[in-house]
Amino acid sequence: MSTATAQFVPKDFKSDLKPIWCPGCGDFGVLTALYRALAEIGKPPHELAFVSGIGCSSRIPGYATSYGFNAVHGRALPISLGVKTANPDLTVIVASGDGDGFSIGGGHIPHIIRKNPDITFLVMDNFIYGLTKGQVSPTSRKGLKTVSTTYGSMEEAVNPLLYTLSYGAKFVAQGTPGDMKGLTKILEEAIRFPGFSFVNIQSPCVTYGEERDMIKGQKEVMVNLEELNHDPSDKFKAIEIAHQYGDKLHTGIFYKDPNPGPSYTDLLKELQNELKPKAVAKDKILEMFRPRLK
Ligand SMILES: Cc1ncc(C[n+]2csc(CCOP(=O)(O)OP(=O)(O)O)c2C)c(N)n1
Ligand code: SF4
Ligand SMILES: [Mg+2]
């Protein structure tokens, strides 16, 4: 699937800023996989934009050589839509966390999915609020004791795979830095997908996470979807497998629409081209307002 050019190497996408994540944080692996995937894709850094919210995972735009916007908590998706609309030729990648993406930012998910812009949404799912020192997150398992749930969480966890699949996302995948080769391949395919793509990345928080979610624990429950002979065009099977989120760690592409059709970005371009001949020339715009200014 790769159309790699020899033009770029992973370090071309690395910024001069040194990550300040805790040693061993899963986000280091995610960042490396991203650099590798971007080198494979071969688009130059000035044609890329990273957008994020707030969280450890949301630091990614600072660590990439590209356009970047470290925005406010939970608002990466609408801001990324603005970026993509202003410049549809940019490859836009959103870096988010389980808190940023599914808690404060959760309300944006159904709407970005139904719009289907050509944007890639990456969630570093570590089942916890890392940056703010270990509070319960929407993907934390019921019963988890944290600084904010002293007696154990009493809520059911959000299932990011089921959530996005049932809202109609056309590309849904899951990866982990515990399988770097697999994660790089998934990221490459997600970025190349011509529409909204979502990748849930189980990226361990080594400081506040549970032992079972560290790479060693992940390996005990990791199942490769390709080895299961899962057909990524089978949405119903994808939904069935997604129910095992939290118990098993399935890696690979759950669902990829074989006929994705035009994205919101394509439709906007089409409309703009159609309206262009009727558009008022820039130097005539003031004339339109003058009668009202009198
Ligand atoms: C409006 C607002 N509310 C709360 C916060 C505090 N806050 C910053 S990051 C964060 C959660 C981060 O968790 P997650 O998105 O899972 O990222 P992680 O650090 O785990 O990668 C919270 C609650 C904030 N910055 N802004
Ligand atoms: S607190 Fe957790 S998520 Fe944040 S940098 Fe440290 S290990 Fe990573
Ligand atoms: Mg988190």
Which domains does the chain possess? 10-260 (3.40.50.970)
- What own/partner pairs with CB < 8 Å and gap ≥ 24 does 220-225 have? 221/247, 221/248, 221/249, 222/176, 222/178, 222/179, 222/248, 222/249, 222/251, 223/248, 223/249, 223/250, 223/251, 224/179, 224/182, 224/250, 224/251, 224/252, 225/250, 225/251, 225/252, 225/253, 225/254
Looking at the CA of 208, which ligand is closest? 2
- Residue partners of 130: CB distance under 8 A and separation at least 6: 25, 55, 56, 57, 97, 205, 207, 208
Using the mean position of ligand 3's atoms as its centre, give its distance from the Cα of residue 208 in Å: 10
Using one digit for the tens of pLDDT, what is the confidence trace for 125-137?
999 999 999 999 9
Atom of ligand 2 nearest to the CA of 26: 8
CA distance 242 to 234: 12
pLDDT at 197 over 60: yes
Looking at the CA of 21, which ligand is closest? 2
Q: Is 79 helix (H, G, I), strand (E, B) or coil?
A: helix
Nearest CA to ligand 1 atom 13: 129
Predicted local distance difference test score (pLDDT) of residue 294? 62
Nearest CA to ligand 2 atom 6: 22
CA distance 233 to 231: 5
pLDDT at 88 over 60: yes
Predicted local distance difference test score (pLDDT) of residue 229? 98
Q: Are 46 and 39 in contact (CB under 8 A)?
A: no
Using the mean position of ligand 3's atoms as its centre, give its distance from the Cα of residue 216 in Å: 19
CA distance 34 to 184: 7
**For a substitution probing ligand 2, which of 205, 213, 215 has the most ligand atoms within 8 Å of its CB?**
205
Atom of ligand 1 nearest to the CA of 137: 16
Looking at the CA of 126, which ligand is closest? 3
Predicted local distance difference test score (pLDDT) of residue 142? 97
Using the mean position of ligand 3's atoms as its centre, give its distance from the Cα of residue 205 in Å: 8
DSSP label of 127: S
Q: How many residues does the chain have?
A: 294
Predicted local distance difference test score (pLDDT) of residue 234? 98
Using the mean position of ligand 1's atoms as its centre, give its distance from the Cα of residue 99 in Å: 6
